[in-house]
Structure 1
Amino acid sequence: MDRPALETGPLTPAEIRADLTRSGLNLIGQALSIFDADLRLAVANRQYQAMFDLPEALTLPGASFEDTIRFLVLRGEYGPQNDPEAAVALRVAQARTFQPHYFERQRADGRWITVEGAPLTQGGWVTVYTDITDAKQQEALLRARSEELSEQVLLNAERLAAANRQLAATNAALSEAQRILTRTEARTRQVTEMVPAHIAHMDGQFRYTFSNRRLPSIFPGAAGQIVGLTLEQALGPATCATLQPYMARALSGDPQVFEITHPTSGRRIRIALTPDREGQGAYILSTDVSAEVQAREALVHAGKRSLAAQLTSGMAHDFGNLLTIILGLQARLASRIEAGELPAAASEDVQATLAAARRGAALLDRLARISAPREPSLEPTDLGALLADLATLSRPSLSEGVTLDLQVQPWPPALLLDPGALQDSLLNLILNANAAIRPPGRITLSAARSGDWLELVVRDTGPGFSPEALTRATEPFFTTKKGQGSGLGLAMVYDLTKLVDGTLRLENHPGGAQVTLRLPWRPVARQMVLLVEDDDLIRAQVRDMLTGLGHAVIEAASLSEARALADLPGLTVILSDIQLGDGLGLDLDAPLPVILMTSLPPGAPLRARAAGPVLTKPFTAARLAATLAEAR
C-alpha cells in the first residue's frame, strides 16, 4: 500500500496526493476498504489488514473481493461452513447488489465488530469495520454487576446502544447521499445553463419551479431569476396571452410543439411542452430558431423567385422587342396626328397605347430586378434626410384626402444602410398603402431603434391584409389588385430586406395594415484605418472604398512599414493583406483589431491561421463596411 522502497526520484503531484490520502486513512481508528464496480480493491488502510490479519497480496489495489472472502471463509472467519464455495458465492452475489448495510457480528476469535457499507455513485462501495468488543464487554459487565436493575432495563439499554450505533451509520450514509445529490444537482445545473436554450418547469398554477436561467437569451428583456414567478410576471401580458392556451393543454396531458414570434424582439421561438404527469406541471424547452426560419423562408422564396426568372427570361427578350416596335409605331401615329394626317380623336387611343407599352417596359425592368442577383450597396446614410426626401417624393402620388405622417427619432450622424434599396422599399409600401385606403385616410411612417435593430413601420387606415395576403404577399406575382398590380412589389421589398440581413413582418392592427422592416442597427463610426497592401492598384481601390465610407486612411506598402506605423495615435483598425512582399499580415502584432484580406479560398492553411475576420478578394464596399462595423 506504500510507495515501493526501491523507487527513486522526486514524487509527482499525483503521488504526493496519494501518499497524503494513505496517511490520512491510516490514522483512522477503524478498518476501511473500498472496492470498485468490478469487485477489485481500490483503497484500504493498515487497520483493514491488521483487523483481519490479511496477507499483503489481498491489501494491494486490484485484489479480488472473491479471493479475500474465500481466504476469510477458509480461515473460519464466518464459523464452520458445510459448503465453503457456496458461502463465498453468496457473499459475492450480495456484494454485487451494492446495497447500503449495517450489522454487528461476533468473529471466530470472540471479538465483536460492526460492518457499515455504503454504495458509491462511481460504482462499488466503501465499508468501515469498527471493533466494538470493549462496548460489548461493558454491556456484559453492567449486566453482571447490576442485579438491582430489572431485566427489562438492561435489555432496553443494550437495544439503545445498538440502535445508536446503527443510527450513527445511517446518518453517515445519509450525509454521503446528500453530498452526492448536492454535487449531482450542481453539475446538472451547470450543464443546463450551458445549453443555448431555456429549460424550465412550471406547475399547475403557471408558476415557474425550475429554470436554467437562460430565459433572457431567448426572450430579450425577460427576467433572469424567474423561479417563483408566474408566466405573466416573467414574460409580460402579451406573450403570456399567446402561450397560456398551449400551456393549459400541456397541463391537461397533451404535449405541445409550436412556434411564436416574440412581439418585442421579433425573434422566432420554438417551444416544446412535455407534461409532468407526476408533478402536475409541464417541462418547457424554448429555443431561438430565427436563423433557421429565415433560412427556410429564404430558400422557399428563392425557389419561387428562380421559377419566376425561368418563366420570364425566355420571353423577356422577345417581349422587349415587341414593346420597342409598339412604342415606335405609336410615336409615328402621334406625329401623323399632329400633322393632321389622322383625325385628332385618335390621339387618346395612341396615348393610352403608349402608356400601356411603357408600363410593360417598367414591368420588364422589375422582373429583371427580382430575378437577377443583386449586391447590397451599404454606405453612410443620413436616415432623417432620406425619409424627408422620401416623403417629398411620395406625397404628390397619394390620393386626394390621404396624408402621410412621419414619426422619426433623432439619429446618429450616419447609419450604414443601402439608401437606394431602402427608399425603393418604403416607397413601394407607401404606394401599396395608398392603393388600399378609401379616402380620407392616413399613412404613418415611423422609424425607431429597437435593441440591435432599426425598426421602420408603415401603417395605414385601410381594411388590412386578408388572411391569404398575410401568408402569400411576398410571393412573386401574387396581387390583390385584380389585374392592376404586377405582384412584384412586396416580393422586391422582401428580397431587398433579406439582402441586408433584415426581416419583414406583415400584420394587421386595429385600424388597418402594418408592415415592419427590421434592419441591423449599424451606426457609422468614423475610423482611422491603417491599410497595408503591397499592390499599388489594389491599395488605391481599397483606399477609395474606405474614404467613400467616410473613414480616414493611412497607407503602408509592406509589413515593415506597417509595423512602424501601427502605434500611431488615433488608429482604430488595421486592414492588411495576408501575403505581403516582406512577410505575412498574420504577423502584425498590434493592440488593435486586425482585418485581413486574401484571394486564398476558405480552408487554405494561411487563411485558417487568422484569428479575426477575413475578407475574400475581390469584395464590395458594402462587405467592407459591414466587416469594419463588426470589428469595432
Structure 2
Amino acid sequence: MSTDNSRERLTRAGLNLIQQAISIFDSDLKLAVSNRPYQLMFNLPEALTRPGTSFEDTIRFLVARGEYGEVTDIEESVAARVEQASTFKAHYMERTRANGRTIAVEGAPLPQGGWVTVYTDITEIKRQESLLRARSEELSEQVLDHAEALAQANRALAATNAALEEAKAEITAIEARTRQVTEMTPAHIAHINRNYIYTFSNRRLSSVMPGSAAEVIGKHAIEALGEETFQKINPSFIRAFNGEASVLEITHEPSGRRIRIALTPERDSDSEVSGLFILSTDVTSETQARAALSQASKRELAAKLSSGLAHDFANLLTIILGLQGRIERMEGLPDEAKELAHATLAAARRGGTLLDRIAAISGKRELRPQAVELTPLIEDLAAMARPTLGENVNLQTTIEGLDTPVLLDPGPLQDSLLNLLLNARDAMAPAGGKIVLEARPVQDTWIEFSAADTGPGFSPEALERALDPFFTTKGGEGSGLGLSMVYDQAKLAGGSVRLENTGMGARVVMRLPLRKAKGARPMLVLLVEDNDTIRTNVRDMLTGLGHSVLEAETVDEATALSDLPEVKLVLSDIQLAGEGTGVDLAFALAQRLPVILMTSLPPGDILRASAPCPVLQKPFSQGELAAVLSGVSQ
C-alpha cells in the first residue's frame, strides 16, 4: 500500500469517528473529502460521496428530493446555490430540513481555494429551547430571544475566528518564506523611513560592508553605516526622499570594497515619499575587471598610436648611431669633436632605452597569475635591491596577514616594487635615509603594498601629476616612466595606486586584488603533447601537484581516451602531430570536459586566438600551471 493511499485511509477513518457531518469541496467545486455521517445525515447515494463528485450534482439531488422545501424551478435553484458557493465566504446558518430535523451549517474557505463545511444536528437543542420557552414563566420572551441570538452569534463568530486563524497562518508562512529568500540573496535589502530609521533588513549589511552593524532594525543610518559611509550616501538619500530614484557607487573605506547602492522611493496613498527601499551590492570584482579592461584598452590604443612613431624614431636613431659612430672613429678628429660625437651617441642610446620603456608600457601583454608566497618574494626582492640602494639607505620590510599563497603575476609585481624602492632612494639622495616596504591585506578584498621613505615628500605638483607618463622631478636624469609603469601594472591587474605625504616623507600605496590561491582537487588529467621531453616535464609538474596523468600524442588518441569516465580535465598543446589541432580537440570536448591549451605561439596568432578555453603560454612554471588548473576545476 502506498504512503498516499495509507494516509488517505487513515484520514477518512478518523473523520468517520466524528459525530458531525463533514464535507470539503475544492476550488473547482468538486468533492475532495467527506465522512460517513455526511452520507447518513442526508441519505446520499454512494455515487455522491466519492471524491470528484460535483457540488452541482449533489445540490440538484437534494433540491429534487425537497431538502430545501418546495421549489418551482429546480435548475434555477441549483444555479443560485452553485453561484453562492463559488464565492467561498465564511458563513453560519440554521435550517429545518424536510424531515423536520434542524441542522446547523458552518462553512469556512480554505487558503488554497474551496471550503470545508461542518453539519451539526441541533434538533434536541432546539426542542429544549422550545420546552424552556413554553414552561418557564420566569424567563421573559426577550431574554430567550437574546439568548438564542447570542448562541447563534457565538457559533457564527467561532466560524469567522477559524477562518481568520487559517488566514493568519498562511500570512505567517508567506512572511517566513519571503524572509528566507531575502536572507539568501547576496546583497543587502533594507527599508528606512523618513527619519532614517531602518524598519526592515535581510541581515546582510555586515557581509556586504564589513564593519557595519549586523542588526540594524530600529537604528539610525549613521549608526548602522558609520559616519563616513553615511555622508557619502546622504546626498542620494536626500534626492530619493524628494522622489528621485538613483543608483550610485561608493568605495567603502573600512573594507576597500566597491559598493553599488540603488535607492527607490516608497510612496503612500497621497503620493508622498514615506520611506526608501535600499539594495546594496558588492561590485568589487566587477570594478576590478572593468578597471583592468579599461587599462588594457588604453594600452592597446597607446600601442597603435605609438607603434608607427616608434618605428620611424628607431630608424632615425639607427642612422644617428651609425653616422656618429663613423665620426667618432675618424682619424685626426679634434678632442672637442670626439666629445660631441660621444655625447650624441650616449643621447641616441638613451633614446633607444626610452623606446624600450614605452614599448613595455604600451605593448600588448597578458597577465600570468600564479600562486605566490609573498614573504619569500619580498625577501628576495630586498636582498636583490639592497646593493643597488647603497650603504646610506636602510631598507626594512614588513609582511602581515599574508601567510597563505595568493594569485599574482610575480614578474610585474617585483618590477613595480623595485621601481618604488629606486624612486624612494632617489628622493632621499644624497644623504640617504630609511625605506619601509610593507604588505598587508585590506579585509578580504585587497593586498596593499606601500613604500614609505624619509625624504622631503612629494611636491603639490608631483602629488597631482607623478603618475603621468614622462613627468619627472629629476631633470634630465629621469625618464618619467617609473611610476607610470607601476600605475599601469596595477590598473592592468584591476588595482590602484595612491600617492601621499606622511609628515616624515613620501609614501606610495599600491593595491592589488586579493585572491587566495586554492589548489585544484587531485584528479586524472589527460595530457596531450607530441614532444617527448616536454610531455615528461609537464607530467612531472602535474604529478608534483598531486594529479594522476594519462598521456596521448594526437587528437585521435586523446578523443578515444577522453571517453574514460575517470578523466576530469584535458591539458593539450595547440600544435600536435597528425591531423587536427588542440583547438579542434577543445571544440570537440567543450560539452563534456574542461580543456586547457598550452602553446609557444604569440598572443596575436590566429590559431591561438580561436581557442575556446584558457591558453597557457610556454614556457610556464609549476606555479602558473597550478593557478590555471585551480581556476578551471573550481
Q: With the length of structure 2 as denominator, give the TM-score of the two structures.
A: 0.75
CA distance in 1, matches of 2:89, 2:461: 68
CA distance in 2, matches of 1:170, 1:528: 64
Equivalent residue for 2:343, pick from 337, 346, 351: 351
Equivalent residue for 1:239, pick from 217, 229, 246: 229
CA distance in 1, matches of 2:174, 2:408: 51
Equivalent residue for 1:455, pick from 448, 467, 479: 448
Matching residue's letter, 2:291: E
Could you list the per-position Cα deviations for residues 345-400 of structure 1 after superposition, in whole angstroms to 9, with x for gaps in the alignment?
Answer: 78368626732652354234432553223352645551331452576478579xx9
What residue in structure 2 maps to residue 576 of structure 1? 549
Equivalent residue for 2:95, pick from 102, 105, 110: 105
CA distance in 1, matches of 2:475, 2:21: 95
**What SS is found at the alignment partner of 1:280?**
strand
Q: 1:155 to 1:311 in 2, by over 3 A?
A: same
What residue in structure 2 maps to residue 127 of structure 1? 117
What residue in structure 1 maps to residue 608 of structure 2? none
8 Å Cα contact 1:73-1:84 kept in structure 2: yes
What residue in structure 1 maps to residue 512 of structure 2? 518
Map 1:546-585 onto structure 2 (within 5 A): 573-577=546-550
What residue in structure 2 maps to residue 305 of structure 1? 299
Matching residue's letter, 1:137: R
Could you list the per-position Cα deviations for residues 393-429 of structure 1 after superposition, in whole angstroms to 9, with x for gaps in the alignment?
Answer: 78579xx9x9987554486497664333112223455
CA distance in 2, matches of 1:464, 1:19: 88
Matching residue's letter, 1:446: E
Q: With the length of structure 1 as denominator, give the TM-score of the two structures.
A: 0.75
Matching residue's letter, 2:365: P
CA distance in 1, matches of 2:202, 2:128: 56
Could you list the per-position Cα deviations for residues 406-459 of structure 1 after superposition, in whole angstroms to 9, with x for gaps in the alignment?
Answer: 554486497664333112223455677899999999986431123444321357
Cα offset, 1:272, TM superposition: 1.4
Matching residue's letter, 2:113: G
8 Å Cα contact 1:533-1:577 kept in structure 2: yes
Matching residue's letter, 1:456: F
Could you list the per-position Cα deviations for residues 558-607 of structure 1 after superposition, in whole angstroms to 9, with x for gaps in the alignment?
Answer: xxxxxxxxxxxxxx832434879997796669xxxx87645676877867
Structure 1 residue 171 corresponds to structure 2 residue 161: yes
Matching residue's letter, 1:454: I
* Mean CA deviation greater in 487-496 or 185-194: 487-496
Q: 1:409 to 1:136 in 2, by over 3 A?
A: same
CA distance in 1, matches of 2:443, 2:595: 27
Q: 1:469 to 1:284 in 2, by over 3 A?
A: farther
Identity of aligned residues (%): 50
- Highest relative contact order (Cα 8 Å, sep 6+), 1 or 2? 2
Map 1:20-31 onto structure 2 (within 5 A): 20-31=10-21
* Mean CA deviation greater in 439-448 or 256-265: 439-448
8 Å Cα contact 1:390-1:423 kept in structure 2: no
Q: 1:224 to 1:150 in 2, by over 3 A?
A: same
What residue in structure 2 maps to residue 6 of structure 1? none
- Alignment size in residue pairs: 583
CA distance in 2, matches of 1:585, 1:538: 24
What residue in structure 1 maps to residue 146 of structure 2? 156
Cα offset, 1:541, TM superposition: 1.7
CA distance in 2, matches of 1:576, 1:585: 15
Cα offset, 1:187, TM superposition: 1.8
Q: Which consecutive unaligned segments of at least 5 residues does structure 2 have?
A: 574-581, 600-615
Structure 1 residue 623 corresponds to structure 2 residue 624: yes
Cα offset, 1:299, TM superposition: 3.5
Cα offset, 1:193, TM superposition: 2.6
8 Å Cα contact 1:269-1:286 kept in structure 2: yes
Q: 1:297 to 1:413 in 2, by over 3 A?
A: closer
What residue in structure 1 maps to residue 577 of structure 2? none
Q: 1:196 to 1:372 in 2, by over 3 A?
A: same
Q: 1:343 to 1:583 in 2, by over 3 A?
A: closer
Q: RMSD between aligned alpha carbons?
A: 4.7
What residue in structure 1 maps to residue 607 of structure 2? none
8 Å Cα contact 1:425-1:493 kept in structure 2: yes
Map 1:191-210 onto structure 2 (within 5 A): 191-210=181-200
Equivalent residue for 2:106, pick from 113, 116, 119: 116
CA distance in 2, matches of 1:415, 1:190: 34
**What SS is found at the alignment partner of 1:422?**
helix
Map 1:35-434 onto structure 2 (within 5 A): 35-278=25-268, 280-335=274-329, 341-342=333-334, 344=336, 347=339, 351=343, 354-355=346-347, 358-368=350-360, 370-376=362-368, 378=370, 382-386=376-380, 388-389=382-383, 392=386, 408-409=399-400, 412=403, 417-428=408-419
CA distance in 2, matches of 1:341, 1:284: 81
Cα offset, 1:265, TM superposition: 3.2
Cα offset, 1:482, TM superposition: 14
**What SS is found at the alignment partner of 1:573?**
coil
Matching residue's letter, 1:183: A
CA distance in 2, matches of 1:261, 1:332: 60
Q: 1:357 to 1:583 in 2, by over 3 A?
A: closer
Q: 1:129 to 1:627 in 2, by over 3 A?
A: farther
What residue in structure 1 maps to residue 538 of structure 2? 542
CA distance in 1, matches of 2:551, 2:193: 57
Cα offset, 1:196, TM superposition: 2.6
Cα offset, 1:271, TM superposition: 1.5
Cα offset, 1:80, TM superposition: 3.6
CA distance in 2, matches of 1:478, 1:49: 98
8 Å Cα contact 1:444-1:458 kept in structure 2: yes
Map 1:414-493 onto structure 2 (within 5 A): 417-428=408-419, 445-452=437-444, 453-457=446-450, 461-462=457-458, 492-493=485-486
Matching residue's letter, 2:158: A
CA distance in 1, matches of 2:34, 2:490: 71
CA distance in 1, matches of 2:147, 2:551: 87
